[in-house]
Amino acid sequence: MNIGIDVGGMSIKAGIVDNSGNILAKYSVPTPRDGNESFSAAVKKAIDEVLKIHPVEKISSIGIGAPGIVDRENGVLVYSTNIGYKNVPIREFLGKEYGCEVYVENDANSAALGEFYASGDKKNFAFITLGTGVGGGVILNGKLYTGSNGVGCELGHIVTHARGTKCGCGRSGCWEAYASVTALMRFTEEARESLNIGDEKISGKTVFDEARKGNAAAIEVRDRWIEEVAIGITNIVNIFQPEEIVIGGAISKEGDTLLLPIREYVDANEYCAKHNDIKITKINLPRAGDSAGILGAAYIGRNIKE
């Protein structure tokens, strides 16, 4: 039995996961933001509470997916802009407490692992989250690929618009600067007048909702943004030729409205566009969804070892 911990800006979720990928119990606590000790204590609290709900004879491993920079080798949560801890030796702490192996991974990679294991028997797989930025993780030959320095597969930072809009990473024209929900909201704001939405507060859903009412300007903004997403997804097909790409993030709840035009664009534009016999990549929505973080975290150790 493995325990997966999904560390978010708002809450720390712990889950007990069996070897078939079933989450048997979950418990969540608010994320403290006042340093290492209260953070570690909160993680322990989440684990203890979930073990009360579902007592476990032997914990095989605990995995933690956390934002920011992690040190996989030493099991340390190095740094997160949002949460305010620094160099938390979580492997040492939890190892002593629970007498088991402890693994750490970046949260986006952890969620990618969760969707990977929920996807069935795949070898090469990519998970993309559309949110404040464009994140994700890639599994190649069944293993999470993180490059030679642990920060590989920053797919949001593939430039799709050379010399384009400035990105948070410092570069210009990154995919993230055009395909994130932040970018969608920027496009929406720029079109506010023609959208005829007055002073309405803009969210990622605005143009989707307006488009459903038949607002032509909204349809245009929505479709343009979806094409930006699809351009990057097509790049990922041409790079990895994975069996599947799963598109997640809250906006993926738009379902077929988002998914179908992406599939159509990729089908027409990927490198194998004219060779149906070798086309391989399926594009789908998340299966694990909100549980991907817990599930993937519980599987970090398994992915390293198997």
> Residues interacting with its own copies, by CB under 8 A?
123-124, 140-141, 143, 145-155, 157-162, 169-171, 178, 228, 231, 234-235, 238-243, 269, 271-274, 278-281
* Minimum CB–partner distance for residue 246 and its own copies (Å): 15
- Closer residue to its own copies in complex, CB, 40/129: 129
- Closer residue to its own copies in complex, CB, 36/235: 235
- Closer residue to its own copies in complex, CB, 91/157: 157
- Closer residue to its own copies in complex, CB, 84/173: 173
Tokens found for residue 259: 């998914």
The amino acid at 168:
G
* Minimum CB–partner distance for residue 235 and its own copies (Å): 5
Tokens found for residue 93: 């702490």
Relative orientation angle of helices 216-240 and 181-190, to the nearest 10 degrees: 150
SS3 category, 282: strand
160 secondary structure, DSSP code:
S
* Minimum CB–partner distance for residue 131 and its own copies (Å): 18
* Minimum CB–partner distance for residue 168 and its own copies (Å): 11
The amino acid at 182:
T
CB 107 within 8 A of CB 83: no
Lateral strand order in the sheet of 61-66: 23-30, 11-17, 2-7, 61-66, 101-106
* Minimum CB–partner distance for residue 132 and its own copies (Å): 16
Tell me the C-alpha distance between 135 and 127, whole Å: 8
- Closer residue to its own copies in complex, CB, 24/169: 169
What count of Cα atoms within 13 Å lies in the side-chain half-sphere of residue 25?
Answer: 16
* Minimum CB–partner distance for residue 154 and its own copies (Å): 5
H/E element holding 82? none
CB 217 within 8 A of CB 197: no
- Closer residue to its own copies in complex, CB, 62/155: 155
Q: Which of 154, 237, 211, 224 is nearest to 183 (CA)?
A: 224
H/E element holding 181? helix 181-190
Q: Is the dihedral of CA 20, 51, 101, 110 positive or negative?
A: positive
- Closer residue to its own copies in complex, CB, 38/241: 241
* Minimum CB–partner distance for residue 140 and its own copies (Å): 6
- Closer residue to its own copies in complex, CB, 49/243: 243
CB atoms within 10 A of CB 165: 13
* Minimum CB–partner distance for residue 125 and its own copies (Å): 9
